[in-house]
Amino acid sequence: MARRYWLMKSEPGTYSIEDLEEDGETHWDGVRNYQARNLMRDDMQVGDGVLFYHSNADPPGVAGVAKVVSKPYPDPTQFDPKSKYHDPKADPAEPRWWLVDIAFEERFGNVVALPELKDDTRFDDMMVTQRGSRLSVQPVAKKHFDAVVKLGRKRR
């Protein structure tokens, strides 16, 4: 199947592109939105490209690039009563929440800020630029992925 592209949001105070660069790889746990879960569980594949997005930042925007390095698997935090992501209704026989592992690829010198994306007509149909778009995992068209990466690389 063809490579797909995604935008995955994280608050930099929780987990940043710098953290991913240092760690090299991480599991993308704690997603508790069914639509985002379904995208990860049903559509993500090893090798897919990821725009790593800093939300709740000043400014919010794409901070770098990662890639999906695992098939989806059950998020273990759903079963851990000590985790803030624990779900008492989750059943190991039929997990509710899934995750993938992602690996660092590159960090931009400065984020490609959301206001910049909104001001550029090339991104008018990109999900993250749409009013009310708060989904933490979003599909991204290849043309948008490539254009954002090109903008980000100019900031080195």
Domains of the chain, each with CATH number or no CATH: 5-153 (3.10.590.10)
Residues 6+ apart with CB under 8 A from 111: 54, 57, 59, 60, 61, 62, 63, 152
In 10 A of CB 110, how many CB atoms?
Answer: 12
Type of residue found at 16: S
Identify the segments of the chain with pLDDT beneath 50: none
pLDDT of residue 1: 72
pLDDT of residue 9: 97
pLDDT of residue 156: 59
pLDDT of residue 116: 96
Q: Give the integer Cα–Cα distance in Å for 93 and 76.
A: 12
- Structure token digits, residue 119: 């001001």
Q: Where are the alpha helices (DSSP H) in 16-108?
A: 17-23, 34-38
Q: Omega of the bond prior to 88 within 30 degrees of 0, cis? A: no
Type of residue found at 114: L
pLDDT of residue 148: 97
- pLDDT per position as a tens digit, 65-81: 999 999 999 999 999 99
- Structure token digits, residue 105: 């690829």
Threshold 0.85, pTM exceeds: yes
pLDDT of residue 107: 97
